[in-house]
Structure 1
Amino acid sequence: MSEALDKAEAAVREASGNTDVLQVAKAALELARAAQQQAPAAPCGHDHSRFDARKWWTIGGLVIVGGCVACFLALAFAMAMVAVAIGGTCGTACLLVLRSMWHEAQRGR
């Protein structure tokens, strides 16, 4: 890139000394050509043109399976909490009935 840039700068210097429009246009065209010839390098240093579909199918499959497992565990936890709530409600009702019966037995009815 530096060779082409140096060449273009030399052409610009030459054109600036000479007021000929043709030389200025030539320098501009040479600079544009040099800029087009330089392919941008990958900033991370590896090739981006290779696509591996198997890798992405594997990642997608693992995400789906993981989501299904998480959903199943969430449903199991929700069912367990419903069972705990029902058990707590039944236990409270039984204790209230037994307490009422105990008070009635203490009063002598």
Structure 2
Amino acid sequence: MSDLSKASQDAVDAARQGERYAEILAVVAAVQAGQQQVACHHPAPAGRQSSGQAAKWIGIGVGGSVFLLAVAISAVAVAISAVALTVCLLVLRGIWNDVRKGGK
């Protein structure tokens, strides 16, 4: 399996795992919300919203994963370009040496 295929598969697996964590987190938050309503009978403070915080962190995780995947693909593109440039320079150097030897 090539490095690009492996990196692509790892990214897909990470995205699936992130989705599973989001589902688990939603279930846990729902269970905790149900327990809080049963356990305490006073109103929650108006400035606190725990469900928005979870969504924010999930969004940050997904955004970070996409960003790192883009960086990895860019690194592969730079490596391929460097190899192509090196091969091109070696071929041109060989041609230049042939031209110089032919002129003597």
Q: Secondary structure of the equivalent of 2:87? A: helix
Could you list the per-position Cα deviations for residues 55-109 of structure 1 after superposition, in whole angstroms to 9, with x for gaps in the alignment?
A: 2211111000000111111011111111111001100000001001110111118
**What RMSD, in angstroms, separates the aligned Cα atoms of the two structures?**
2.6
Shift of 1:51: 8.0
1:97 and 2:91 correspond: yes
More helix by share: 2
Q: Between the two proteins, what is the percent identity of the paired residues? A: 33
Could you list the per-position Cα deviations for residues 31-73 of structure 1 after superposition, in whole angstroms to 9, with x for gaps in the alignment?
A: xxxxxxxxxxxxxxxxxx9488x82211111000000111111
Partner of 2:61: 67
* In structure 2, distance between residues paired with 1:64 and 1:51: 24
In terms of Rg, which structure is larger? 1
> Which consecutive aligned stretches of 4+ in structure 1 deviate over 6 angstroms post-superposition?
none
Partner of 1:85: 79
Unaligned 5+ segments in structure 2 are 1-42
* In structure 2, distance between residues paired with 1:89 and 1:55: 52
* In structure 2, distance between residues paired with 1:107 and 1:99: 12
Q: Secondary structure of the equivalent of 2:49? A: helix
TM-score, structure 1 normalization:
0.49
Higher relative contact order (CA 8 A, sep 6+): 2
What is the aligned residue count? 61
